[in-house]
Amino acid sequence: MKRLRVGLLVSLLVGLLVGGAAAQKFELVEPKDALSDYANVVTPAAAEKVKTLSDDLRRITSVNFKVLVIRQLEGGIEAKTYAEQIYKRWDVGRSEGGLEHGVLLFISVLDRRVKLVVGRQVLYVLPAKAQEEIEWSVLAELSRGRFSQGVEIGSAAVADTVLAGWETYRRPGRGRLDWQKISVPVFSLFLVSALLPIVFGGSFIMGFSIFIGGLFGLVLLDYIGMVLAAAFGFFLNWRREGK
């Protein structure tokens, strides 16, 4: 009897898991162009505007911009989940070429869902706060039933934000650093470089190695690179000095 109960419990759990997995299955549509309008709500003029914006972004910044519009999500699928799957399936970021230069604007018109999926190499110019503002601007149009205008406004906002940010952060050969952005980590690195030799009885060379290594790490690999390079400079000198 006990074995029977255990078997029934296992069968029930397996059934629930299989059923849940089946419920999460959903159809991924295929891309048409810069704009894939499966809801048939975008006017020809707005569709042409989206294509122009997409072409300009790719030409100026190499960012690949796509827009997907559907009527409604089915089966309780989250907009974030669906949009991320589309981003991967369409290879919007062109990951096969070793890049993540992609932005996908996903809009489900009837259930008023909007989601931006942004490649990691575009996050510098299109951070989370900017994404949220763009999503809300599109939602405002959808709530008024202005579906085509929402697509056009959202696309223009993405293009304007990326182009504006590209001047400062991403354009090759500019050679400029955003000192306001890096002032706090650089100051923190300076303090660590000064304090660690004192605490561990190290020399000036130890502090210099920590600071210079951290700076190179910050430039090449952002904050994670700064921490790793500074730590490497510390342990290298700590061991060399016989600590």
Q: How confident is the model at residue 209 (pLDDT cuts 50, 70, 90)?
A: confident
Domain end point (choices 121, 142, 170): 170
C-alpha angle 85/87/90, rounded to 5°?
100
pLDDT (0 to 100) of residue 2: 43
Q: Is 211 left (phi over 0), alpha (psi -120 to 50) or beta?
A: alpha
E-state strands within the chain: 35-37, 64-70, 102-108, 113-118
10 Å CB burial of residue 47 (0-12, 13-18, 19+) is buried
Residues 6+ apart with CB under 8 A from 104: 65, 66, 67, 68, 83, 86, 87, 90, 92, 116, 117
Least confident of 91-95, 97-101, 124-128: 97-101
Domain end residue (candidates: 144, 170, 196):
170
Confirm whether 121 is domain-assigned: yes
CATH code of the domain in which 79 resides: 3.10.310.50
Task: Please count the structural domains in the chain.
Answer: 2
To the question of pTM greater than 0.85 for the whole model, the response is no
**φ, ψ for residue 143 (rounded to 5)?**
-65, -20
Rg, the chain, Cα only: 25
Over residues 21-39, the pLDDT tens digits come to 333 445 788 999 999 999 9
CA distance linking residue 105 with residue 37, whole number of Å: 12
